[in-house]
Amino acid sequence: MTDAQLIEKFLNGDVNAFNTLVRRWEKALYNFIIRYIGCREEAKDICQITFIQAYRNLVILRDPQKFSSWIYRIGLNVCRDEFKKLKRRKTHSLNNLDYREETSLNQDLKMEKSYSNDPDMAVHNGDIRNLLNMALQSIAEEQRVVVIMKEYQGLKFTEIAETLEIPVNTAKSRMYYGLAALKKVFDQWDIDKEKIIYEM
Amino acid sequence: MKCKFSQAQLIGYLYNEMDARDQKLFKTHLAQCSDCQKELQTLSETSHILKAWQEESPHLRLVFMNEISRSGRFWSKIKLPGFINSGWALAAIAGVVLFLFIFSWLRNGANLNLNDEDIADMPNRKQFLFSDSDAIEPRISDFQVQTPENNTYGLHATLAKSRDKKILKNINIMANIMDNALEEKYRHYFHTPSKTQGIYLDGLGVVFLLDKDSKKEFLETEARSIFKTISSSQEVETYSNKSRFGEGYHTTESLNGLKTNLIEVVENYSQTLLPISPTESVVIAVNFNKQKGGATTRSSRLVLRIQKKDLDTFNQGKMELNEFLKKINMREY
């Protein structure tokens, strides 16, 4: 059954049709979010929030054929909102009411920062994921989104352009600059294809 | 790039998203242009490195259930007091119903035992939505009933699923304790529109639902107690206005009082929660209702989640207080 058919069923009252959509898209959406935001725990929450929003707003989706672009767009907007909140959130010790500015994002990156001075260690330890996460987080957001959508979600540039509401050539340009920026980062860390393959 | 081909075209060629004519032209050009060859090679290698990050499985355990709402057939089964038959009363009830989304894998789909007591109580409950992790969000609206006849079931069936009377009894005791503890401390500060409710959900644990009046009022009274130098109502108003937008030092400061008390209740009366499995959680969800009069704000909520195993470990003296407090997950929405 296609996404459009499932949506139609859902709008006619079959909530299990929506659950099928969730099953179908949760992995792709989660992997998009985790690469965008760089934090596993937050990615789960954001994924859930995205589906909740989709559940509530599916009735206003004009073209059910465009569900994929729509769900990615919601996911991206939630990511951006949550990212702003993450930067502001404080955790509190209830014992003495003292404040520490520490977000779960920072906690995740703390682990990763131990590799930032030695990416070789990350590669040596088989921590390819952390390494690539750091690299992706270091490039401009608008480039990162396109790179993730292309390299990991396998979207066509027309789909990326539709999701981000930008011209196709702009999407391709951002991809170019994103890859170029990543190349610089990999060069700084002396990472190349052979090293990655060897360590994998 | 000095060639006539743009970066966008280079990318289009790399990912095979170029129309056939342009592709042919570019291929011809590529054969003669070392710069483009080099550039393409570099981009291709970078792309290859990125692919080393394998996909992960989310393990979301996310399931949506139908909302339960008024339907003629359903409501005919409920014995309601006579005054509720008025339009106003029904509208009021319709505005205050319980809707709970459960995020867990469906285990036994069709068996549904809604007793009359559960059904009759449904209009009086508030909506909460929560997940297997800790995203909890209140909603208030009508909901559709799912009955055994049409072979689907509403989330209320899961609420009714707690067949263990002991668990239900203990949860009710804890809910009352929570009410009394907070009422004692805060009775001069804010109005509690409804009693704390405790709900047990198999596999998740216990959820305590608290309803509090306007956060603004709460913060005003907290501001007075915390900032003793404040004497003018204008200053309090200023602080409270800051809190309306979720900003300002005192917003967090004021909420901490409530958080501390809630945690203390759970710590001190944890024996009441003994029947809860260590793999489950104790969740406290506080819903701050919209401000009455004046500018309206979104209702906001505070969610605390404690893993039962952490509570047990702490109570056994195997965990320091500071460490225990760090393990408590708090979110504000």
Model confidence over B60-69: pLDDT tens digits?
Answer: 666 676 543 3
**What phi, psi does B205 have (nearest 5°)?**
125, -145
Pairing relationship of beta strands A91-93 and A98-100 according to DSSP bridges: antiparallel
Instruction: Provide the chain B residues 85-124 that lie in CB contact (below 8 A) with chain A.
Output: 101, 103
Tell me if chain B has a CB within 8 Å of the CB of A156.
yes
Residues in chain A: 200
Task: Say if residue B75's pLDDT is above 80.
Answer: no
Task: Say if residue A111's pLDDT is above 80.
Answer: no
| Alpha carbons A116 and B251: distance in angstroms, whole number | 36
Q: Quick one: pLDDT band at residue B278, thresholds 50, 70, 90?
A: confident
- Residues 6 or more apart whose CB falls under 8 angstroms from that of A116 comprise A134
Tell me if chain A has a CB within 8 Å of the CB of B66.
yes
| Alpha carbons B276 and B171: distance in angstroms, whole number | 9
Angle between helices A104-116 and A67-88 (to 10 degrees): 90
CB contact under 8 A, B263 and A94: yes
Higher pLDDT, B118 or B26: B26
Q: How many CB atoms lie under 10 A from the CB of residue B235?
A: 14
Residues pairing with B251 in the sheet: none
pLDDT for position A96: 31
Q: State the burial class of residue B143 (Cβ atoms within 10 Å of its Cβ: 0-12, 13-18, 19+).
A: buried
Question: Contact A139/A185 with Cβ under 8 angstroms?
Answer: yes
Question: Contact A116/A188 with Cβ under 8 angstroms?
Answer: no
| Alpha carbons A182 and A136: distance in angstroms, whole number | 7
B16-62 tens-digit pLDDT: 998 888 889 888 888 888 888 999 999 999 999 998 888 888 776 66
Pick among A16, A48, A149 to test the B interface (most B CBs inside 10 A): A48
Q: For B58, which of A18, A26, A132 is closest by C-beta distance?
A: A26
The proportion of chain B whose per-residue pLDDT surpasses 70, expressed as a percent, equals 44
Higher pLDDT, B8 or B92: B8
Q: Indicate the Cα dihedral angle B171, B177, B183, B184, nearest 10°.
A: -170
Q: How many CB atoms lie under 10 A from the CB of residue B176?
A: 14
CB contact under 8 A, B66 and A13: yes
The proportion of chain A whose per-residue pLDDT surpasses 90, expressed as a percent, equals 38
Whole-number mean pLDDT of chain A? 78
Count of helices and strands (H, E) across chain B: 13, 8
CB contact under 8 A, B8 and A176: yes
Question: Contact B156/B144 with Cβ under 8 angstroms?
Answer: no
User: Does the CA dihedral A183-A189-A190-A191 come out positive or negative?
Assistant: negative
Amino acid at B122: M
Task: Say if residue A153's pLDDT is above 90.
Answer: yes
Compute the count of residue pairs across chains A and B with CB atoms less than 8 Å apart.
142
CB contact under 8 A, B137 and A52: yes
| Minimal CA separation from A106 to chain B, in Å | 15
| Minimal CA separation from A63 to chain B, in Å | 22
pLDDT for position B128: 40
Task: Say if residue A61's pLDDT is above 70.
Answer: yes
Question: Contact B51/A151 with Cβ under 8 angstroms?
Answer: yes
Q: Quick one: pLDDT band at residue A121, thresholds 50, 70, 90?
A: low
- Residues 6 or more apart whose CB falls under 8 angstroms from that of B57 comprise A27, A30
CB contact under 8 A, A196 and B52: yes
Rg (CA), chain B: 28
Give the residue from A32, A6, A131, A71 showing the smallest Cα distance to B58: A32
Q: Quick one: pLDDT band at residue B307, thresholds 50, 70, 90?
A: confident
CB contact under 8 A, B58 and A183: no
Give the residue from A65, A71, A72, A91 showing the smallest Cα distance to A150: A72
pLDDT for position B332: 65
CB contact under 8 A, A27 and B55: yes
The B127-130 sheet, strands edge to edge: B100-101, B127-130, B136-139
Instruction: Provide the chain A residues 81-120 that lie in CB contact (below 8 A) with chain B.
Output: 90-95, 97, 99
| Alpha carbons A72 and A164: distance in angstroms, whole number | 9
pLDDT for position B221: 54
Give contacts of A95 with chain B, Cβ < 8 Å.
321-322, 325
Q: What's the 3-state SS for B173-199?
A: HHHHHHHHHHHHHHCCCCCCCCCCEEE
Question: Contact B314/B324 with Cβ under 8 angstroms?
Answer: yes
Helix, coil or strand: residue A198: helix
Tell me if chain B has a CB within 8 Å of the CB of A161.
no
Give contacts of A15 with chain B, Cβ < 8 Å.
64-66, 152
Tell me if chain B has a CB within 8 Å of the CB of A27.
yes
Pick among B18, B45, B60, B61 to test the A interface (most A CBs inside 10 A): B60
Give contacts of A30 with chain B, Cβ < 8 Å.
56-58, 60
Instruction: Provide the chain B residues 198-217 that lie in CB contact (below 8 A) with chain A.
Output: none
Indicate the DSSP class of residue B101: E
Helix, coil or strand: residue A189: coil
Task: Say if residue B146's pLDDT is above 80.
Answer: no
Higher pLDDT, B103 or A181: A181
CB contact under 8 A, B43 and A183: yes
Question: Contact B141/B67 with Cβ under 8 angstroms?
Answer: yes
The verdict on ipTM greater than 0.95 is: no
Give contacts of B256 with chain A, Cβ < 8 Å.
92, 94, 97
Least confident of A49-63, B23-37, B97-111, B297-311: B97-111
Q: What's the rounded mean pLDDT across residues A145-172? A: 94
